[in-house]
A and B are shown apart, each in its own frame.
Chain A
Amino acid sequence: DGGITQSPKYLFRKEGQNVTLSCEQNLNHDAMYWYRQDPGQGLRLIYYSQIVNDFQKGDIAEGYSVSREKKESFPLTVTSAQKNPTAFYLCASSSGQGNTGELFFGEGSRLTVL
């Protein structure tokens, strides 16, 4: 089935360690996104990519890095520079064709920094 796969679902790390979250999609979508969600809050955009080898900062990019070497993959690295990395991270993708604006989300990765 087509969709977006995020891994791992749960991740625990020590403070000061870099962490990379995986996001893979087989929907042939051009655009991919990373959002962060804190308890009881809405989603905030970290980074997005409209095409391979290109990406833009979202509203809260500091302390995060991404790459888009393949159309299917958009990994997110949470660096030690991110002050409060514990959160629920959501990856999404959308088609570059048309204006539907529909985003397809993965099931999320819950990161806990000890």
Chain B
Amino acid sequence: DAKTTQPPSMDCAEGRAANLPCNHSTISGNEYVYWYRQIHSQGPQYIIHGLKNNETNEMASLIITEDRKSSTLILPHATLRDTAVYYCIVRVAGKAAGNKLTFGGGTRVLVKP
């Protein structure tokens, strides 16, 4: 699975949009981009995933560049409860891949009042 690069930390203001970047320049054509977050001392929580089209759900939006070498997770109106470590992961699709996800260091997001 391709490696991802994320900034180690970022702050954002409560009520504002939080834009979390992720570089995955070695991504291959059959690899999806996944985002998870982990609130302190809890298990990670799935946020969103995509292949090449932009995606949106009730939690966030995922913007993937046309060349797929980078993506941005957008939390439209950050709240204090969004303070967490956010992980960007890429993995090959398909049952044979075993849904095995490799988590890197992630971005530690601190939402400030």
Task: Judge: A and B partners, yes or no.
Answer: yes
Contacts A94-B99, A102-B49; A107 near B42 (Cβ below 8 A)? yes
**Interchain CA distance A44-B43 in the complex, whole Å:** 13
B46 — nearest CB in chain A belongs to which residue? Answer: A102
Contact B49 A101 (CB under 8 A): yes
**Interchain CA distance A4-B45 in the complex, whole Å:** 12
Contact A101 B34 (CB under 8 A): yes
**Interchain CA distance A62-B27 in the complex, whole Å:** 29
Q: Which residues of B contact A88 (CB under 8 A)?
A: 41
Q: Say whether A90 faces chain B, with CB atoms less than 8 Å apart.
A: yes
What range describes how many residues of A lie at the interface?
Answer: 20 to 34
Contact B104 A103 (CB under 8 A): no
Contact B101 A101 (CB under 8 A): yes
- B59 nearest CB across to chain A (Å): 13
Q: Which residues of B contact A99 (CB under 8 A)?
A: 32, 93-95
Q: Say whether A100 faces chain B, with CB atoms less than 8 Å apart.
A: yes
Contact A105 B45 (CB under 8 A): yes
Binary contact readout A39-58 vs B (1 if CB under 8 angstroms, 0 otherwise):
00111110010100000101
Contacts A96-B95, A99-B95; A48 near B43 (Cβ below 8 A)? no
**Cβ-defined partner of B44 (8 Å) among A31, A58, A105:** A105
Contact B41 A90 (CB under 8 A): no
Contact B45 A35 (CB under 8 A): no
Contact B46 A103 (CB under 8 A): yes
**Interchain CA distance A81-B57 in the complex, whole Å:** 44
A93 — nearest CB in chain B belongs to which residue? Answer: B99
Q: Which residues of A contact B106 (CB under 8 A)?
A: 42
**Which A residues are closer than 8 A to B by beta carbons?**
4, 31, 33, 35, 41-45, 48, 50, 56, 58-59, 88, 90, 92, 94, 96, 99-108, 110
With A45-B102, A99-B32, A110-B41 given, name 11 new contacts (CB 8 A).
A31-B99, A41-B105, A45-B100, A48-B100, A56-B98, A88-B41, A96-B95, A103-B46, A104-B46, A105-B45, A106-B43
